[in-house]
Amino acid sequence: MLSLHEASSKQSDKSKPNLPPGVFGLRALPYVSKLAKDPIGFFQLMHERFGKTALFGIRQIPFHIISQPEDVRRVLQENSQNYHKGIFYRELGRILGKGLLNSEGEFWKKQRKLIQPSFHRQRISEFVEIMAEETNKTLLNWKGQSNLEISKEMMRLTFAIVGKTLFRTEVESYASRIEASLKVALEITTKRITRLFPMPFSWPTPENRKLRKALKDMHSVVEELIAERKKNPSNDLISMLLEVKDEETGETMSETQVRDEAITLLLAGHETTANALSWAFYLLSQHPDVWEKVRNEAVNVLGDRTPGLEDIQKLAFTRKVVDETLRMYPPAWVIERTAMGDDVVGGYDLPRGTNVSICIFNIHRDPEFWEKPNEFDPDRFDEDRSADRPKYAYIPFGGGPRICIGNIFALTEATLVIALIAKAYKFELVPKHPVVMEPLVTLRPKHGIRFNIVST
Ligand code: HEM
């Protein structure tokens, strides 16, 4: 494996690897503080200084930053088996165990095959009812309220939706217990990920003890629930995971594995969609004409009926609003991988052990692929305007075999929630409320987003 000291932007010796231009060792220190304070700004700076492929190295750990769609395709699709989940996932692994987001190789492949059918269109159509029911409950709660913090509201709503699809109504109390411990675990893990030198987890610091307790509580609630579902199967995702059998071997999932998958789906399935919805309402509040179009479409398509999956396909303009929001504010704003073997990407050597960073945020705002990239323009997703765009220039759900398993679930949910809310209300941003991006594990609004509700 290469050491960082071997890396050079001006390679003359043929025996030395051809690495991209970049910065490492002591020279990287000023960039480290930029990375800690403003991670998106860091990726933009690397792009400006060194181009679309750049090398960055701290503490002997090389990061190869790629932004060209063809290079992204190489890593996520063509040679995906060479790339495992990156260093962030080591921390997240404490919460996710060996769940789908965090597993690798043959084990991941087997799990993906077992879980995939739970996300087929036909299953999603069963979940639409839950999505609509939970959104309507939220709308009722908002009656008479002003100064609403939308990201909290959306977190609550998307958690209720994914919680119900996993656990169904009779076990609502379990969901609220998991929500509390998951929140603590996620907050501490996020802090650990963003610290340059996190305390070893084995040290009995107050924070580590709090994290241990949250993980234990979360595991015991989900395990209780699994035991209950084994006795009384329902039509929820947990029961599906318990029943599902490998076609070839007839093998079922162990209870610990069902637990890890359930926690993974709960986590991956609510925070990302909540952020997407919060940013969508922010953008809509800044573009009242677009809000009006969304509202009119919702009134025409949905009327006062309970919506079904076939209605979602007719909400074509709202769907473009979702797509454009995911372009401008991709909730999973960066993808990380580690190379298991040597590779060549974009003409540069990418040696084994290198970390690969794919900054989705920057790719989605690259003027080479997006006209006026900082402008909100849902119609850019019209077929005739999208035809020439490389597939890997738009990757809100990642790509290749590890593409988000919940992408149709999320797109259906976001389209429906926006339509139902826009039909009932209009929001105005609370004057002077600062709307600032906070790119942590997901891209959140740092101070939340506050709206006054105006009934339509
Ligand atoms: C707008 C909402 C969402 C966004 C932007 C999003 C984004 C992503 C991305 C980018 C990945 C790939 C990560 C990587 O390659 O490192 C991913 C994977 C995943 N997502 Fe989502 N996601 C969303 C919603 C959901 C939902 C609703 C669920 C489940 C109910 C879900 C479950 C998962 C799982 C289990 C994986 C891992 C798949 C695998 O590795 O096989 N996501 N998501």
Question: 441: Cβ–Cβ under 8 A, 6 or more apart, which residues?
Answer: 88, 92, 186, 189, 190, 193, 271
User: Fold for domain 97-332+364-455?
Assistant: Cytochrome p450 (1.10.630)
398 Cβ below 6 A of ligand 1: yes
8 A C-beta contact, residue 425 and residue 142: yes
Give the right CATH number for 1-96+333-363 from 1.10.540.10, 3.30.70.1140, 3.30.43.20, 3.90.1170.50: 3.30.43.20
93 Cβ below 6 A of ligand 1: no
Structure confidence by residue, pLDDT tens digits, 216-240: 998 988 888 888 888 888 878 888 8
> Can you tell me which atom of ligand 1 is nearest the CA of 112?
41
pLDDT at 171: 57
397 Cβ below 6 A of ligand 1: yes
Residue with tokens 């029961």: 239
CA of 174 to the centre of ligand 1 (A): 23
CA of 29 to the centre of ligand 1 (A): 32
163 Cβ below 6 A of ligand 1: no
8 A C-beta contact, residue 55 and residue 63: yes
pLDDT at 196: 67
Out of 12-26, 200-214, 412-426, least confident range: 12-26
Asked whether the predicted pLDDT for residue 8 surpasses 80, the reply is no
Domain ranges of the chain: 1-96+333-363, 97-332+364-455
Nearest CA to ligand 1 atom 2: 273
Query: 417 pLDDT band (50/70/90 cuts)?
Result: very high
Give the separation between CA 275 and CA 269, rounded to whole angstroms.
11
pLDDT at 164: 87
pLDDT at 57: 86
82 Cβ below 6 A of ligand 1: no
Average pLDDT over the chain, rounded to whole?
90
